[in-house]
Amino acid sequence: MSGPDAPLSVGVDGCQAGWIAVTALDGAGLTYRVHSSFSELLASWSGADRILVDIPIGLPWRDCPSRPCDGQARALLGPRASSVFSPPSRRASRAADIVQARAWNLDEVGRSLSAQAWGICRKIVEVDQVLLGNPGASRKVIDIHPEVCLWGLNGGRPMRYRKSKAEGIKERLALLSTWHPEAENLLNRALHETRRKDVQSDDVLDALAAHVTGRAVSSELRRLVGVPSEDDQGLPMQMLFRSAAG
């Protein structure tokens, strides 16, 4: 969907510089901004209808040691299932180091914590604190997983290659270009205007996949969600994607 009736969708991915946000503004085409904090991003896009972010929202706890949406995502993704990390408990996410995080996670949800999950803990906490402090924000700030978004955009088929490989970047760009003709221009512009230590190709493409997903009308959107559908603090545990039929 495009034009004046399309929802203002902001796709967001974490990057080394903070957060990259991709959207399409009327008359300006695809654009991106890099924000140093999630609270700054939320304030900058206060007029957005949807902010789709690649970060776990709603965290496991003693009575729900695994988020149902994560298991559903792995079942969909097949060869890309390993891209879905099990997020930490809220306490473990706030640990001082990975050793403490693993011990706390084991105590609370019965498993250790992967290095990949620990690597995004600071960003998990950042979003978690913003949403706990502003409960209304969770109505527009929605958890997505880029590979699930791409699965939906690709007619219910997972990507063949990992995004860490050149073939994976090419595959994702080709798919996203079928949904938005400016995809390649956006990627080239973002890479030209930022440093690789701050923003990587996959950061841009993940945020773009989220944006394209969020541009759908409500009837085209689906959610991976189970029981319970909220965590013990009332934050939703779900992943949004665009229907393969949409």
pLDDT digits (tens, 9 = 90+) for 85-110: 999 999 999 999 999 999 999 999 99
Q: Kindly give the interhelix angle for 166-179 and 146-153, rounded to the nearest 10 degrees.
A: 50
pLDDT at 245: 55
Q: Is 234 left (phi over 0), alpha (psi -120 to 50) or beta?
A: left
Instruction: Retrieve residue 232's tokens.
Output: 């013990």
Confidence of residue 2 (pLDDT cuts 50, 70, 90): very low
Instruction: Retrieve residue 60's tokens.
Output: 């496991």
Indicate the range of 20-24, 42-46, 241-245 predicted with least confidence. Answer: 241-245
| Residue 102 Cα distances to 118, 168, 169, angstroms | 9, 31, 32
Instruction: Retrieve residue 66's tokens.
Output: 């695994």
Q: Which helix (H) or strand (E) holds 151?
A: helix 146-153
Share the mean pLDDT of the chain.
Answer: 95
Domains of the chain, by residue range, sit at 1-86+119-246
Bridge partners (DSSP) of residue 177 are none
Q: Is the pLDDT of residue 25 over 90?
A: no
Output the pTM of the full model: 0.95
pLDDT digits (tens, 9 = 90+) for 181-237: 999 999 999 999 999 999 999 999 999 999 999 999 999 999 999 999 999 999 999
